[in-house]
Amino acid sequence: MATARCACGEIVLTIAGEPNATVLCHCKDCQRRTGAPFGVGNYYTPDQVRISGSPKVYERGTDSGNRMRNFFCPSCGTTVYWLAGPALDRLGVATGTFDEPDGAVPVRSVYEARKHDWVDTSCIALRYSLART
Ligand SMILES: [Zn+2]
Ligand SMILES: [Zn+2]
């Protein structure tokens, strides 16, 4: 059981089980969402995650033509989680919002065309290949 929360604590997620994947994303939307050079999210099925609090929603389109919903705290602005995928059934939790590091390491690094030159993801490619063997 893991917990994740926004900066002020109004939005709290209680998460059961392991993530399906942890993904590092360099797209411009993740850069703007986080204010950092890339975003990192742990992906779950929605039934693994219990949500308390009343987040606001920011919905946007994606390059692949799907919708994406970011859920953020109206008081402190932290985006704690989002729904993605064609059926909006992949629940991503911002890795930085966990109370304790859960030990999950990224298996993929995506949108590298937008990657800042100084960010080195070679270790992630290695972990991906190890995870697949
Ligand atoms: Zn908050
Ligand atoms: Zn992204």
Q: What is the CATH number of the domain that holds 70?
A: 2.170.150.70
> Partners of 52 in the beta sheet?
12
**pLDDT grade for 133, boundaries at 50, 70 and 90:** very low
**pLDDT grade for 125, boundaries at 50, 70 and 90:** low
**pLDDT grade for 130, boundaries at 50, 70 and 90:** low
Dihedral sign, Cα of residue 65, residue 112, residue 127, residue 78: negative
Using CA atoms, how far residue 83 sits from 33, 67, 103, in Å, is: 14, 9, 22
* Domains held by the chain: number: 1
The parent domain of residue 52 ranges over 2-132
Question: Which has more pLDDT, 103 or 39?
Answer: 39
C-alpha 107/C-alpha 70 separation (Å) is 22
Task: Write out pLDDT tens, residues 1-43.
Answer: 999 999 999 999 999 999 999 999 999 999 999 999 999 999 9
Q: How far is the CA of 32 from the centre of ligand 2 (A)?
A: 9
- Are residues 50 and 13 in contact, defined by beta-carbon separation less than 8 angstroms? yes
Q: How far is the CA of 131 from the centre of ligand 2 (A)?
A: 22
Q: How far is the CA of 26 from the centre of ligand 1 (A)?
A: 24
- Give the chain's mean pLDDT: 91
